[in-house]
Amino acid sequence: MAGHSKWANIKHRKARQDAVKGKAWSKCSRAIMVAVKNGGPDPETNLTLRYAIEDAKAVNMAKDTIEKAIKKASGEGDEGVSYEEVRYEGYGPGGVAILIDVLTDNVNRTAPEMRKLFEKGNGNLAKPGSVAFGFSSTGIIIIEEGETSEEQLMEVALEAGASDIVQSEGVWEVTCEPSDYLELRKAIELAGIPLASSELTMVPASPVVCDIELGTKMLRLIESFEDHEDVQNVYSNADIPEEAMEE
């Protein structure tokens, strides 16, 4: 056990707030449809689709709504919209690094809109690859501290592929390689340990510690990206203080 997980707790709270927003389901439907068109409708053979379905379940998307999105994407003769996956990279105020994953049917529209949001938030859009190298794809599972013991969690999680277990601020944070994510989560659930949240995310190698002022600016900027209908995920290396979260 090692490390510091404050950023993960902030990400967890932010994800819960985002799940309340009405756009969560439509974003999940879009991700499911793109996954089906790229890899087929069978989640057993299409790992991207499995991830998209799990994300949809995490925001309480109904089973029939998920199935409808899969059928719509795989239906022959469907003239549905074609979406493209694009990652935008840039810097926010204070030099904070930001990654934005979008699914768009019109890059020529989305790109200038992303640039405008960066500029409005005192940041700037950067060239591809200039920010992403500072992040690594990681599976993260958050468990409330009282839901399990250290002994139980370590026995279950380490055997199922966890790379680290951290206790911080009232929660356990279990991390793993993306390839082990689904099996690890399944093992924890089968052990009867309730999950507070779980996701595949981009973890920054060097977090930027923000004061209240910078943290507040970063939250506003992140929320402006999340409110855009094409944006699926926003990642940053900002370590935002609790006081900024509460404002």
- The answer for residues whose C-beta is within 8 angstroms of residue 65's C-beta and 6 or more apart is 25, 29, 56
The 10 Å Cβ neighbour count of residue 183 is 13
The 10 Å Cβ neighbour count of residue 166 is 17
Could you give the C-alpha distances from 160 to 46, 49, 70, 175, 200, in angstroms and in order?
21, 22, 30, 11, 16
Length of the chain: 247
Q: Are 71 and 58 in contact (CB under 8 A)?
A: no
Would you state the pLDDT for residue 29? 87
What pLDDT tens digit does each residue of the chain (247 aa) get?
444 444 454 454 455 455 555 577 888 888 898 889 888 999 999 988 998 998 888 888 889 888 988 888 877 545 566 788 899 999 999 999 999 999 998 999 999 999 999 999 999 999 999 999 999 999 999 999 999 999 999 999 999 999 999 998 889 999 999 999 999 999 999 999 999 888 889 999 999 999 999 999 999 999 999 889 899 899 999 998 877 776 5
Could you give the C-alpha distances from 22 to 25, 54, 60, in angstroms and in order?
7, 18, 12
Domain positions in the chain: 15-74
Instruction: Measure the CA angle with vertex 11, ends 35 and 247; round to 5°.
Output: 130
Would you state the pLDDT for residue 152? 95
- What's 10's DSSP letter? H
- Tell me the pLDDT tens digit for each residue of 162-213: 999 999 888 999 999 999 999 999 999 999 999 988 888 999 999 999 999 9
DSSP string, 102-157: EEES-HHHHHHHHHHHHHHTT-EEE-TTTTGGGEEEEEEEEEEGGGS-HHHHHHHH
- Tell me the pLDDT tens digit for each residue of 60-69: 888 988 898 8
Q: Which CATH class is domain 15-74?
A: mainly alpha
